[in-house]
Amino acid sequence: MNGFWRTLPSPIIGLAPMDGVTDAAFRLTVALHARPDITFTEFTSVGDICFGAEGRMESLLYDPRERPIIAQLYGKDPALFYRAAHVVCELGFDGLDINMGCPSRNVASSGSGAALIKTPELAHEIIRAARQGIADWTAGQTLKAAGLKDGKVAMVEQMKAKASPALSNRRPIPVSVKTRLGYDRIVIDEWVTHLLAERPAAITVHGRTLEQMYRGAADWEAIARAAALARETGTRLLGNGDLVSMTDVVRRIRESGVDGVLVGRGTLGAPWFFSGNDAARQACAGTAPTLSTDTVSRAKRFEAMLQHARLFEEVMGARFPRMRKHLAWYCKGFPHAAALRAQMVRASSSADVERIVREFCETAMLSVTAPVPAALAAACD
């Protein structure tokens, strides 16, 4: 059951899930500027889905303009994956991704995330449980019948009401996996063979072990071996790691033979990143010898930053300090960016962002156009 995965363009160039980064406001900002081929939520605990408070499920809020949108879950209890799969389906997601690659000590020490690499039989059980939950929901089983309490069922209904309506028909959705090369050593050949036995729609491999965290360079030769094992199986194999430009994307796809990539760091402060997807596919096919290296103007950066800040307040509420890291990422690659960044990391609202940008524009005599507020545009013209 590969669903929409088989209809995606080839090679696939999508947005990677990043904890604390790819929240609903960030993903929508990316979608509005240049929609990736596929988008993943931040990972969400199956325990939080089944038992947690409403705030623990905000990572599952999404906008239909993000489609295809996949909910990424983590945990170690197959029974909770079974129930959580019902919720993912009920909320209208296009797919369910199981995190078997998070290197966080808090996650891995509980047996979840990348720790599942050490317990392949449990990994098999989790994939089967998620798939069975999807099948039972598709057949008509209710959330309550799946074992969810009345309060949680009501919470899911509220989420459906405040977000976009879920699809009315009960359709099965595909299961995929995101993982790493190994736990404390590279075992990707053996490990990916285990995963392929469950025939997931896709497997994304980050090119480091858990022990490496994000240190050193991603090992794309190991990713290439995983891609070779997946070839002809019906499972899409995607690579992830150290992709900061479309040139990186094209080079890694060509060298590794993956079916696509998920980009993380390259999108930080650059929601327009995926505007180069079509050109990258042409370059991969050899029909476009070079990729454009046009730099993004300061005006475009500021417009995107202001839009993102306003969306954050609208979607995520009053916790604006969480937006500051994004503001810092926008402030790069132009004269006096460091000075602007120093001000942005103290901003407490989108109004602060508007004021800081307006003052910078006035000093630098820049022009910023819509969609910024009229007052700001007038000040910068």
Give me the active site residues, please.
Answer: 102
Please name the amino acid found at residue 121. E
Classified as helix, coil or strand, 310 is: helix
CB 95 within 8 A of CB 176: yes
* Two tokens, residue 331: 């402030």
CA dist 204 and 211 (Å) reads: 18
DSSP string of 11-67, one letter each residue: SEEEEPP-TTTS-HHHHHHHHHHH--S-EEEEEEEHHHHHHS-GGGGGGG---GGG-
Query: Cis peptide leading into 68, omega within 30 of 0?
Result: yes
Q: What angle separates helix 337-344 from helix 350-364, to the nearest 10 degrees? A: 160
| Amino acid identity for residue 100 in this structure | M
Fill in the DSSP letter of residue 7: G
Quote the strand ranges of 75-143, DSSP E.
Answer: 95-100
What is the distance between the alpha carbons of residues 41 and 24, in angstroms, rounded to a whole number? 8
